[in-house]
Amino acid sequence: MKWLGLIATAFTGILLLSATPYFPSFGDPNSPANAGVNGGVSVSQYYITETYTDTKVPNIVTAVLADYRGYDTMFETVVIFAAGVAIFAILRSFGGTTIPSHPTAIDTSVEGDHQRIIIGMTCKLIIPVIQLFALYVVAHGHHSPGGGFQGGVILGASFILMALAKELDTALARFSEKRYLALACVGIFIYSGFGLLCVALERNFLDYGILHRLMPATDEIMARSHSMLGVEVGVAFTVTAIMFAIYANLSSKGRLEQGF
């Protein structure tokens, strides 16, 4: 069976590698992706030249993700949400007998005390910095590398760090199950809400330009920039909540207690 797998992998690898000589070389200006087909302007060329005049967003990656291909990103967020719900459905166990899966990790010796103080103080100092950085990444996502996914993961990781350094209960006291489930739904609701608002104002779904009617002192172009920030915040909510939910359920076998 192992040999069969090796043969299949080698065959697929050779097939894929044999296609690589036909690829255009890195940064080739005459490749179809850069020069367009049959004289037309290619999509990537359009993004590079027109993104700033269309949306006033310097980071083209975020503009493509949140505006030009907003529909795709919306369902990427739904995929994250579905992953969290699946983990919840499989692992979460309510009530029942609480068998301690492992002896309690609390070490009462003097050395253990020292270690706990050092780790606790270090985390107390750096968790606020991590969270501030995460908020910066979300809020600045359309001007520098970053955005909702990255910022959300960093914000979720700060809560995971809290659970790792102290106890899972310490993190759950700040970010309880009720709250993270609500936050995950609110994130999806914000994103789709932006899309439905556009429909309500008689434009296409997620065509943000029309939202300038609701935002004071903006034109069609700035409305797209601000709406991108709005949907990124929605993505960040969902990703933060789901990352912490997955960790909390994995580390405590779904009991949300005695996790490490």
Chain residues binding other proteins by CB under 8 A are 26-27, 59, 61-62, 101, 137, 145-147, 149-150, 153-154, 156-157, 160, 164, 243, 246-247, 250-251, 253, 260
Q: Measured from the CB atom, is 157 or 210 closer to other proteins?
A: 157
CB of 14 to other proteins, least distance (A): 17
Q: Measured from the CB atom, is 223 or 245 closer to other proteins?
A: 245
Identify whether the C-beta of residue 13 lies closer than 8 Å to the C-beta of residue 6. no
Neighbours of 116 (CB within 10 A): 15
Q: Measured from the CB atom, is 146 or 234 closer to other proteins?
A: 146
Q: Measured from the CB atom, is 21 or 216 closer to other proteins?
A: 21
Q: Kindly state the helix (H) or strand (E) to which residue 247 belongs, with its residue range.
A: helix 220-251
CB of 2 to other proteins, least distance (A): 9
Token pair listed for 23: 């690829």
CB of 232 to other proteins, least distance (A): 12
CB of 213 to other proteins, least distance (A): 31
Q: Which residues contact 57 (CB under 8 A, 6 or more apart)?
A: 51, 63, 67, 142, 143, 224, 225, 228
The alpha carbon of residue 23 and the mean position of all alpha carbons in its chain are separated, in whole angstroms, by: 31
Q: Measured from the CB atom, is 26 or 94 closer to other proteins?
A: 26
CB of 260 to other proteins, least distance (A): 7
CB of 235 to other proteins, least distance (A): 12
Closest CA to 28 of 15, 40, 17, 44: 44
Q: Which residues contact 165 (CB under 8 A, 6 or more apart)?
A: 119, 120, 122, 123
Task: Report the distance separating Cα 43 and Cα 36, nearest Å.
Answer: 8
Q: Measured from the CB atom, is 70 or 156 closer to other proteins?
A: 156
Token pair listed for 112: 């253990």
Identify whether the C-beta of residue 235 lies closer than 8 Å to the C-beta of residue 142. no
Task: Report the distance separating Cα 199 and Cα 71, nearest Å.
Answer: 13
Task: Report the distance separating Cα 209 and Cα 212, nearest Å.
Answer: 6
Q: Measured from the CB atom, is 88 or 247 closer to other proteins?
A: 247
User: Could you give the 3-state DSSP secondary structure of residue 227?
Assistant: helix
CB of 153 to other proteins, least distance (A): 4
